[in-house]
Structure 1
Amino acid sequence: MSEQTIETPQQYPEQLSDILLVMDKEKKKIQAVTGIDENGNLKTVDADKKNQSQFMRVDKSGDIFSNFFSNFWRQLKDPTHFSFFKVPAGEAEETAKALQQQVDAPTKEGEAVIAKHEVKEPKEQQQQQENKKGMETTQAKPETSEYRYKPEQIDWETMNNIGLSKERLEKVGVLDSLLRGYKTNTLIPISINLGSAVTRMDARLSLQPGENGNVVVAIHGVRQKPNLNIAFFGHEFTKEDKDSLLKSGNMGRVVELTNPKTGEKIPSIISIDRLTNEVIALRQEWIKIPDEIKGVKLNDEQKQTLREGKPLYLDGLDLKNTQDKSAYVQFNADRMYVEFLFGDRAPKQVQGNEPLRTFRGKEFSDEQYQKLTEGKTIYVTDFKDGKGQPYKGYVTLNAETGKFAFDFKNPDNLKNKVQPAEASKTQVAVNSDGKTNEATKNIKEPLKSEQQTPKDQKQQQQQKPKVPAKSKGIKR
């Protein structure tokens, strides 16, 4: 008889693994992931029992899964085109149906299912950063999901003296993020007893490498306001720098900072920690820009604008709970991702008091830009809709807000009943907005430029309603 006297339930592979489900944001269909091909394209099958043997299985362990998903994300050609969900292997088919139902007919109950299983892209799990000695005390650094420190490396006796016992850090839910190398995402009340005086404060915390393999806790106390009147690693803040930092929290440009120990010049962007008013820098080389923001695909020039720390105006955003579909976005050095600038944080005008030159993914030529700034209407023939098809329309500029406006009709000549751009209205409504009309509702392909009716015999056949076959009856 075996020395093992306590029996444990047998665990099958399905109990030890999870299934990765995916939703193509364009097709709005939930499927199971089977892998990635050599070109970085996602391979999927329907999430039903007959395809179970093809499902990609991933280890349930949190750390192992985090590492797997980070690598998986990097290998994928267009990861932002998809939403991913992790579900137990035995529940894959049932959960896939629930997710699909939520996609087709959203409900509050379905939102909970989405939230429970959705896997966020790795960069959203890495919004905090560590601080190091010297310059790195304010130089943010990207982190991975792996643990950087071990609990036994921490001097818990010293931590207890400032009211930060291991039990308390676990209770408030920050110990795990600290061990991974992140700053706490909330302020923690602490007390420092100096014998003759006791200091109490709210602060963000982070761990830093110390001597002899130990780690020390860094206390990022709350400041009354950012100190912008002294040089920041060799950079003297200009009036424009200060105005931008105090208004939006981001400086809006790349500057060279000097490492005081090595003399290295480091191109960086600068932001303000909104919880503590600490000045935070991020190396430009660590800036990662997504391919798409709320349904708007970014071109190379737009990505470069964000890499340079500048604000970028985007139109046609898929924003919920608001009728406004446009906003400014900017990369934040402290949060380490592209954030939205709303209200007073949003610039009315950018760079030299001139409006941005890009609208709906289209960069205006010098001639077009000049006309817009003079208050004139321009006619643009090469906008691209959601399916990549060109369309036409009229653009004007609101001088007060610095925002562009679009119309299929010429606002300068509203008396004309038919304008050239009207032909694009149906095309854009179908391809970009998902709407239908009677003349094209059964056509399977994207509408071509200015298409309003079936273009050929094949599409005419698609439009014809299917007539049920007549019963031949029973021969007697």
Structure 2
Amino acid sequence: MEQKKKEQDVLIVRDEKTGEIGVVAGLKRDGTPNLKPAQAEHAQDFLRFDRHGNALDNFFANFYRQCKEPKRFGFYRVAAEGVEKVVAVMKDLLKDPIGFQDVLSPHKVDTTKYEQAAAQQQAQETAAPKQTPSAEEAQQPEQTQQQEATPAAEQGYKPIDIDRLDRSEVEQRWGIDLAALEQSGDLERMRHYGKSQLIECTPDFGGVRVSMQARLSLRENPDGTVSLVPHPIRREPNLDEYQNVKFTQEDQENLKKTSNLGRVAEVVDSATGELIPSFISIDRLTHETVATPVSAIRIPDEVKGVKLDPTQQAALLRGEGVFVEGMTAKSGKTFDATIQINADKRGLDFHFGGQRRAQRQEQSQASDDVQQPRRLRIGKTLLGAEITPEHKAGWEQNKWVYIEGMTDKKGQKFNAYVRPNHEKVKFDFSRKRPEQSQIHEIKPDNASHTQVAVNSEGKTHEATKHVGEPLQRGQTAPANKEQQRRQQNANKPKMRR
């Protein structure tokens, strides 16, 4: 098993025009190979291919579809292990490719079949009339809606032949009406290697019918027949492992949040023992763990009107989520979402909000790492009251300033002494009069003489001496019934006992 893990290759490419040599790390926007130096710090960027798989077909299908000068590049397939030393030797050999032809030949990638396939496809597209997308293809995605991806092996793709399915056996064994599946559209999805929605079925277990809910799929058997496969609901997903893959804590968190593993894992083929790079997801309806080979999924060039750049495509190929802005729904409205390959759907998931929040948190954290100490901002108003240059002059001396007409959280007006607290980055408020030395006096206008004398200078005014509250601007008498009652009660003569 360990030996098979090491059996991975990478592509070394030589640009015949510039002479540049490097390891392939995906494709650029124009379809040309993205070259990386054969150094350890770039190893995680290298495209890797299982030695016994067909993921290489996917790469060259995209390359010949996008690159305008494909013959400009020469590709060589070498072992990923020790690639740093191999590239150093290859550079010397490629200085004289004819002289070292015998040495280079076993590694040279024959791209003839890819060129022919690309030319054939282009000819077919040129000859075929353009078709208007169906309503289903243009449908706006919901939070978990699938966007079907084209199978990687486009030239050989064929839907499952349902005529090879024994309909009577399906009805008798599983208690399923195929006509109803066909009418609902589920059978069509199953023909294209998908699953039905949850349906009620009554399988026969030794003469006993048991009612259960399950999703259905089709399987092609070695003898050429087609069988129906039920996927019953599980009590909960298995977040510990899938076959030979042990889930890390990060894997488990990803599966809980998005139902996708968030990376490519090497899943063992139970028949051959081969380790196959695969996407892993949880079926949200049944809690079943599902794996789909990377080679079976073609990464799209464009999603909902937005062209994906090579970096985004590479991230999707690694199983990661990619935040995409400005996609267009069927309604014509634009939307932002995180897209990610879902193994169960064999296509794209759309997740809304999470990636943007994560990006904001990362940006905030990065900003905090270099952020200067916060400072209290003094604006033109404070709780709705105007802040004048005289107020600011008092605050520059770190003194209290009396401000009237502020509005609290309940919408009530109030007056108070205010002083900035730069250490806590906030304002301090006091309805009680501070010590005289800590107050910055502001010269009042004529309408405020009595107010300032009482509130700020500690003087008394007989008509408002017992109102129990700071005076308002221009106030020389009780302002309401409650203040009037206090003033009157205080002025009543006290009876002697």
TM-score range, shorter chain: 0.3 to 0.5
Find the structure with the greater CA-based Rg: 2
